[in-house]
Amino acid sequence: MKFHEYNISEEIKKNIAKLGYKKPTDIQFKSIPAILKGEDVLAIAQTGTGKTAAFAIPILNTLQKRKIKGRPDGVKCLVMTPTHELALQTEEVFKTLGKHTPITSFSIHGGVDQDPQKEKLNKGVDVLVATPGRLFDLVSQGALDLKRVEILVLDEADHMLDLGFIKDIRDLMRHLPKKRQTLFFSATINEKIKKLAYSLVTNAIRIQVSPKDPVAKNIDHAVAFIEMDDKRFFLENMIRNNPESKLLIFVRTKVRAERVKKALDRVDLVSDTIHSDKLQNEREATMNNFRSGLLKVLIATDVSARGVDIPNVDFVINYDLPDSSENYVHRVGRTGRGDQKGKAISFCSTEEKEILEIIEQNLGKPVQRMEISNNQYQHTLEISKEKLPDWRALMNEPVKKKKR
Ligand code: AMP
């Protein structure tokens, strides 16, 4: 799709052409239609991917369409950015793409005199690009009213959190209308970012991704749909079918880790766990055994295995799906280190399908499906040592006398 095929104003199209942009970048291709429709968007995009134009183009078009001539009535779009430089850069993009439209753009940031900024704001600005500190200052002085904001953009949200702007952002939210379109851009996604995003975005979120595949090419990763209560039988099966392989199994909590170990104990399979309830020296000993290959099956929580470099892990098994795509990438990255090949399989129950969807959206593509036929599924349950009838016990059982 080329830019001239988009449903945007002729003025904006001309400005895009003047910049020499021929076709949209990935992030633009994915975000522009959603933003034009008025949807809330959560986009994972690094600087350099064309993300500024990805929000500036549709915002300018929307505001141009809504603009009532000769009525400067307050800021319509607020773009929050973490730094002075980025604020200026973003203002420039809005100005360039908005040439010959009636939309005015302006940026404010700390470190300079406030008065000229106030003066300019009084004259009416449609798009305001601001760093959170200065913005909060002006709002608390009553110099800036945000009641008419229709579109809010949080650009480089992860960077803003790193710079400690979270409180300013939260305080500012009280000054914004609840009904608005919110666009959230971040280069990374983690629990904190997700929490912030979900607290700001009210409508359904579209998650876009940076084009780079965060999972290394030498890792084959797939998902198998297995119900929660059946997972232990599939794990047992995998361990039995790969007796020489090193398996790293991820679970959500330390309690789950111990439970999975007990399930494996019941079917006479040796494993060990590592999590934060274990003593440091116990953990080290377990890790050493796993590293040397003495221990073949290790059950771990996300935190306990973060950053650990273990050679020759043949399989990573996500016994529980991770709670974020960041953790997914981190977990599967425990196999296929360096130039080795690795395999990762996620056991996904019906309840976890929603998490899988989010992970896939963030990865930018679906995770390969591992087909399990009904017969195979049933067979795996039936051949479990836990399910096999214990013939000896049955033989020893006293024969019940029939009641007359
Ligand atoms: P950004 O990620 O917004 O910092 O943009 C990175 C660079 O990509 C900037 O120099 C933009 O001018 C340029 N750019 C943005 N969109 C396009 C496009 N569709 N085609 C070519 N260059 C682009």
Q: SS3 of 154, please?
A: strand
Ligand 1 mutation pick, 52, 92, 185, max ligand atoms within 8 A of CB: 52
Average pLDDT (109-118) is: 89
pLDDT reading at 243 higher than 90: yes
The answer to whether residues 175 and 148 touch, using CB atoms and an 8 Å cutoff, is no
Strand order of the sheet with strand 151-154? 105-108, 127-130, 77-80, 151-154, 181-186, 40-44, 205-208
* pLDDT of the residue at 64: 96
Count of residues for the chain?
A: 404
Band (pLDDT 50/70/90 cuts) for residue 387 is confident
Split at pLDDT 50, 70, 90, the class of 363 is confident
CB 138 within 8 A of CB 173: no
Pocket lining for ligand 1, CB < 6 angstroms? 21, 24-25, 28, 47-53
pLDDT at 211 over 50: no
CATH fold label, 219-382: Rossmann fold (3.40.50)
Q: Given pLDDT bands bounded at 50, 70 and 90, which one contains residue 365?
A: confident
> What is the residue with the minimal CA distance to atom 12 of ligand 1?
50
Alpha helices in 152-230 (DSSP H): 157-162, 166-173, 191-200
- Secondary structure element (H or E) that encloses residue 283, with its range: helix 280-292
Residue spans per domain, the chain: 3-209, 219-382
> In which band, very low, low, confident or very high, does the pLDDT at 404 lie, cut at 50, 70 and 90?
very low
- Retrieve residue 392's tokens: 């000896």
Relative to beta strand 181-186, strand 105-108 is unpaired
Residue 47 Cα: closest atom of ligand 1: 2
Q: Looking at the predicted structure, is the pLDDT value of residue 101 above 90?
A: yes
Residue of minimum CA distance from atom 18 in ligand 1 = 21
The predicted structure's pLDDT at residue 208: 57
Q: What is the number of the ligand 1 atom nearest to the C-alpha of 28? A: 19
Give the whole-angstrom CA distance, residue 392 versus residue 9.
81
Q: Is the pLDDT of residue 29 over 80?
A: yes
Q: What value does the mean pLDDT of the chain take?
A: 87
**What pTM, to 2 d.p., does this model score?**
0.57
Please state the CATH superfamily assignment of the domain spanning residues 3-209 in this structure: P-loop containing nucleotide triphosphate hydrolases (3.40.50.300)
